Copies of this chain bind each other. A is one copy, B any other.
């Protein structure tokens, strides 16, 4: 990754030339609860909107995947698994992967290293208690990472799926990274809760379908991983499930795309591409210490 020559193509398995992963961040009510942790308000609106996810959205998404024969990766905050103890076992029974997503969807910049580690270990224990097995992967709430979090993933043998420094699997400070992408995240286009905190009105599914169809074409053309990320209470809505059905029909019908879970992608990378794309995430020093900066 030095110079203007393009990197060699990523070695996808089975003669495939690009990859697709269907991931679900099963946030449900967790981000709402985290944001209101100092005082849980007596208001039902947002809580009900998010509760739609475990009630209807997740089953609908699971049915959709089943109808296309696709296995997904479901990253579940432990507090959501705790509130819905059927969830992790049922997802595993259906052949999907379940992965870590914080205990409370705790935001990285709002917790100390100790608090992160304490919550991470409690999450893993809950997953073990509910499923009898340890999860293999971690996805950070809101897709942010620190050097400490990478060190913990390394210590515990977890892959990470939270960063965007490349469009194919790679390693960051020795941790296998299965990268995400904002442009194929449903929340930034569709999330709308009301009450004044929204960025923009939700896009129509026609607009997002056009954008994601071009993403799929580009992924196949450039040999990248298209990591789709949806949320239970957002893409579980009828109109978005209908759109995903169309998108998955494209994916499932393309013989050149390797459809894999994040865990399969991480495993393949470790086995067949571990020696390439090894990134060190060293943060630079402030410009204010640089000789080209003149103090006032």
Contacts and interface: CB of A to CB of B under 8 A. Distances in A.
Contacts of A294: 114-115, 118-119
A90 B4 contact: yes
Contact of A215 (B207, B239, B241, B285): B239
Interface in A192-237: 192-195, 198-208, 210-212, 214-215, 217-219, 221-222, 224, 237
A271 interface: no
B3 A59 contact: yes
A81 to B, nearest CB: 12
Contact of A164 (B49, B183, B207): B49
Contacts of A6: 59-60, 63
A287 B44 contact: no
A4 B58 contact: yes
B90 A3 contact: yes
Contact of A146 (B42, B104, B144): B42
A143 B203 CA distance: 20
Interface of A: 1-7, 29, 33-34, 36-45, 47-49, 51-52, 54-56, 58-60, 62-63, 78-79, 83-84, 86, 90-91, 94, 103-104, 106, 108-109, 112, 114-115, 118-119, 122-123, 142-148, 150, 162-167, 172, 182-183, 188-189, 192-195, 198-208, 210-212, 214-215, 217-219, 221-222, 224, 237-239, 241-243, 279, 281, 283-288, 290-294, 296
A199 B144 CA distance: 19
Residue among A42, A142, A202, A292 with the highest chain B CB neighbour number at 10 A: A292
B201 A214 contact: no
A211 B222 CA distance: 24
Contacts of A239: 183, 214-215, 217-219
Given A281-B44, A290-B79, A292-B78, A218 B202 contact: no
A45, A49, A242: residue with the most chain B Cβ atoms closer than 10 Å: A45
What copy number does this chain have within its complex? 4
A144 to B, nearest CB: 4
A217 B199 contact: no
28 contacts: A1-B55, A4-B58, A4-B63, A6-B60, A6-B63, A7-B56, A29-B284, A37-B288, A38-B286, A40-B285, A45-B162, A48-B281, A52-B165, A104-B292, A104-B293, A114-B296, A115-B293, A142-B195, A167-B237, A182-B202, A188-B202, A189-B201, A199-B201, A205-B211, A218-B239, A219-B238, A221-B238, A222-B242
A40 B241 contact: no
